[in-house]
Amino acid sequence: MSSAAEQEATAGERATGNGRPAAVVNGARPTAPVPTVPVRPGRPTPLGARFRVGPDGVAGTDFALWAGGAEGVELCLFDERGKESRARLTELTHEVWHGFVPGVLPGQRYGYRVHGRWDPWTGARWNPAKLLLDPYARAVDGDYAPGGLSPEVYGHVRDWPEQHVADTVRDDRDSAPYVPKGVVVHDEDDWADDHRPMTPWADSVIYELHVKGFTQRHPGVPGELRGTYAGLAHPAAIEHLVRLGVTAVELLPVHQFAHEDHLLRRGLRNYWGYNSIGYFAPHAGYAASGTTGQQVGEFKRMVRALHAAGIEVILDVVYNHTAEAGELGPTLSLKGIDNRGYYRLQPDARRYADYTGCGNTLHVVQPHVLRLITDSLRYWVTEMGVDGFRFDLAAALARSMHDVDMLSPFLAVIAQDPVLRRVKLIAEPWDVGAGGYQVGAFPPLWTEWNDRYRDTVRDFWRHALPDVREMGYRLSGSSDLYAWGGRRPYASVNHVTAHDGFTLRDLVSYDRKHNEANGEGNRDGTHDNRSWNCGVEGDTDDGRVLALRRRQLRNLLTTLLLSTGVPMLVAGDEMGRTQGGNNNAYCQDNETGWVDWSLLDDPGWKALFALTSRLIALRHRHPVLRRRAFFSGRAHSADGLRDLAWFTPRGAEMTEGDWYAPAATLGMYLSGRDIPGRDEYGAQILDDSFLAVLHAGGEPVEFVLPGPPWAERYEVVVDTGREEQASEPGAAHRAGTAITVPGRTVLLLRVR
């Protein structure tokens, strides 16, 4: 800092009651006059920017911003050249600053400057030099500098020599040239021809994908549409989803997000998008049609195209934290509107409570924060057409003052909301705070990512389970976790992989993570992969290793799609996508993170896709594989046949001791005669019965097929020991005979 600036900083210091310096001004404010625009009182609701025609027939836009504790709010309008004009909002209703500006039309770019005290020691971080994004902006135009965030976007002096107090030193340089702006959007009701699939939970098969990564390399998508909402809506992209048979896509975050400074400085970007800054705006980087409002219509057209194909749209949403990070993070929106009102602060008020591992945590107990989240959720359902949400780190949202509370305001509001209680709700049931692991604890209406399913299935197929008790629970719907409070088996979203971690192919190809490309010294990403490389780390030309890996992939996919619950696949796993052993590809916006469609030219990977599609079709045809109620395990008829039974390789039902004994083989019998509930016509649901034999041992095993009353004859439907699967039933076997099950194989047999 220059000596003149130092003198100004010294002059700008003031002390709190305890004598600590609370503010130091760095740099002079611009002195050039800024044009002002006329403003009328307007309306305090709804929040955000809403275009309308005034009572005198003059078109304009209502602007409304909740800014509790602020001393003043300026609306800032920007023309195409970036020239700024301002309107001071003088109307204040219940902490909402509002005004109507005639002549402001859709496409207008805008932001806010919020005035108030600068006193970080008490959590007050108002700084009118910083242009702030409207939390309710429904479109965002512009981006941050590609080489790193400019120091001007920080409310404090980012490069202050004494970093331990840098967050207390105010930076008065104007941030407007360096930050994106909100865009006024015209409301359009264009859903008349849309028909939501409304797939029941029990019938759902979820496919997690990244809008850009799924289409960026797709040869059937025109080049100008790749990586965009329009690309995902293209018939070539939708054809793959339809052929596969999935019922819903779960999109990695599409809320407007920002890239972290440390990534930009390394030439990387936040690829996954778990760094939200605008909860109403579709991320502009995925728009092919434009970023001054066109992205909204493009997103809606994508949703309509997926709905027309019978596919629901679920959004992965990040309401637990924002891109503003901790006290040393940038000032982009909420931090400058009312830092104390939006974020959970530590007792000293200067620093943030961090239950997310991302520097901050939204204070969801506050009514206006809860309103922000629920307004956003309803907007995406009613105006953008989506069918459900997967909540990142949902335990952070369920915290009351400190502890996770299943009667928290957030969960209570969702449960009674007439819009939100009708859509699909998926919790990632943990956060990084104390007591944050809550698998099995969320109330009815909610489903959960079941990581105990993931870990158990991985361990079984690498032959690392001490016994098969856990595997029995996971295959049959995890009743130990979810059979309470009226919850059903579909409360469990079963998955073996997700965006976070190894791909399915890497799970059988690597024992260790290889994240060097992330630039963090391979320290990032989990060490607990529960993977097995089948004898060689990474790529190999060894035909025996490659054959074993493909067999393991077939085993994992078959197990997932035969298990009771809701299966979730990850885009590309059905055709052998690899990330080269990177288990944390959050910053790999390149071939590492994108789906490689050329894999389908390989006969082996094409066969894996065919098996996956066949298993999904089998699941859709047979209600016994997608039960709506938990198994009872009791006999419902005089012959002693039960809805679920377990068998050892001897063909005998498992005893208590068998469950505790080391074992690599498990037989699961599913009766199609005892399915609870009735169909839509009131008739009893009847189906075929099946015997699934899962053998994780490396050597073949003799398995005796159970006789009457279970069956008199069986026919093979799926045999993962074979790369090519027969389209017709395979070999038939009499009950009571012993069949040879090859090492590391799943056999699915239909009872005849």
Domain ranges of the chain: 48-184, 203-623, 632-751
Q: Provide the pairing of β-strand 109-115 with 181-183.
A: antiparallel
Q: Which residues contact 535 (CB under 8 A, 6 or more apart)?
A: 542, 545, 548
pLDDT for the residue 725: 79
Residue 570: pLDDT above 70?
A: yes
pLDDT for the residue 26: 52
pLDDT average, residue stretch 401-422: 94
DSSP secondary structure, 243-288, as one string = HHT-SEEEES--EEE---HHHHHTT---SS---EEEEEEE-GGG-S
Q: Are 748 and 705 in contact (CB under 8 A)?
A: no
Amino acid 442 reads F
Q: Which residues contact 520 (CB under 8 A, 6 or more apart)?
A: none
Secondary structure letter of residue 130 according to DSSP: S
pTM, entire model: 0.95
pLDDT for the residue 613: 98
pLDDT average, residue stretch 711-723: 95
pLDDT for the residue 17: 33
**Is 658 an annotated catalytic residue?**
no
Integer-rounded Cα radius of gyration of the chain: 28
Say how far apart CA 177 and CA 544 lie, in whole Å. 59
- The CB-based long-range contact list for 616-623 (8 Å cut-off, 24+ gap) reads 616/205, 616/244, 616/245, 616/246, 616/561, 617/245, 618/561, 618/717, 618/718, 619/205, 619/561, 619/562, 619/567, 620/203, 620/205, 620/245, 622/672, 622/687, 622/688, 622/690, 623/672, 623/675, 623/685, 623/687
Residue 54: pLDDT above 90?
A: no
Per-residue pLDDT tens digits for 615-626: 999 999 999 999
Residue recorded with tokens 């790999």: 588
pLDDT for the residue 55: 84
Q: Are 583 and 525 in contact (CB under 8 A)?
A: yes
CB-count exposure of residue 598 (10 Å: 0-12, 13-18, 19+)? exposed
72-91 burial string, b = 16+ CB within 10 Å, else e? bbbbbbbeeeeebebbebeb
pLDDT for the residue 724: 84
Residue 501's region, left for phi above 0, alpha for psi from -120 to 50, else beta, is left
What are the φ/ψ torsions at residue 62 (nearest 5 degrees)? Answer: -85, 135
Per-residue pLDDT tens digits for 503-536: 999 999 999 999 999 999 999 999 999 999 999 9
CB-count exposure of residue 699 (10 Å: 0-12, 13-18, 19+)? exposed
Out of 212-221, 668-677, 739-748, pick the least confident: 668-677
Say how far apart CA 596 and CA 598 lie, in whole Å. 6
Residue 7: pLDDT above 50?
A: no
Q: Are 43 and 64 in contact (CB under 8 A)?
A: yes
Say how far apart CA 364 and CA 725 lie, in whole Å. 51
pLDDT cut 90: percent of the chain above it: 88
How many CB atoms are located within 10 Å of the residue 379 CB?
18
pLDDT for the residue 256: 98
Residue 677: pLDDT above 90?
A: no
If we measure between CA atoms, which residue out of 389, 261, 381 comes closest to residue 320?
A: 389
**Is 392 an annotated catalytic residue?**
yes
Indicate the class that CATH gives domain 203-623: alpha beta
Residue recorded with tokens 């970036």: 82
pLDDT for the residue 2: 38
Say how far apart CA 305 and CA 311 lie, in whole Å. 9
Say how far apart CA 531 and CA 546 lie, in whole Å. 15
What average pLDDT is seen over the chain?
A: 93
pLDDT for the residue 11: 32
Residue 32: pLDDT above 70?
A: no
Q: Are 581 and 492 in contact (CB under 8 A)?
A: no
Amino acid 35 reads P
- Catalytic residue, candidates 387, 428, 431, 573: 428
Amino acid 320 reads N
The CATH number that domain 48-184 falls under is 2.60.40.10
pLDDT average, residue stretch 709-729: 89
Name the 3-class secondary structure at 182.
strand
Residue 63: pLDDT above 70?
A: yes
Pair of tokens at residue 424: 């699909």
If we measure between CA atoms, which residue out of 314, 303, 272 comes closest to residue 568?
A: 314
Pair of tokens at residue 268: 């990387």
- Catalytic residue, candidates 152, 392, 470, 574: 392
Residue 5: pLDDT above 70?
A: no
If we measure between CA atoms, which residue out of 552, 564, 575 comes closest to residue 694?
A: 552
pLDDT for the residue 28: 47
674 pLDDT band, cuts 50/70/90, is confident
pLDDT for the residue 731: 81
639 pLDDT band, cuts 50/70/90, is confident
pLDDT for the residue 16: 35
Q: 63 - beta bridge partners?
A: 49, 99
What are the φ/ψ torsions at residue 47 (nearest 5 degrees)? Answer: -70, 160
Residue 736's region, left for phi above 0, alpha for psi from -120 to 50, else beta, is left
18 pLDDT band, cuts 50/70/90, is very low
pLDDT for the residue 39: 95
Residue 297: pLDDT above 60?
A: yes
Residue 463: pLDDT above 60?
A: yes
pLDDT cut 70: percent of the chain above it: 95
pLDDT for the residue 564: 98
Same fold: 48-184 with 632-751: yes
The CATH number that domain 632-751 falls under is 2.60.40.1180
Q: Are 314 and 388 in contact (CB under 8 A)?
A: yes
Pair of tokens at residue 187: 């409301």
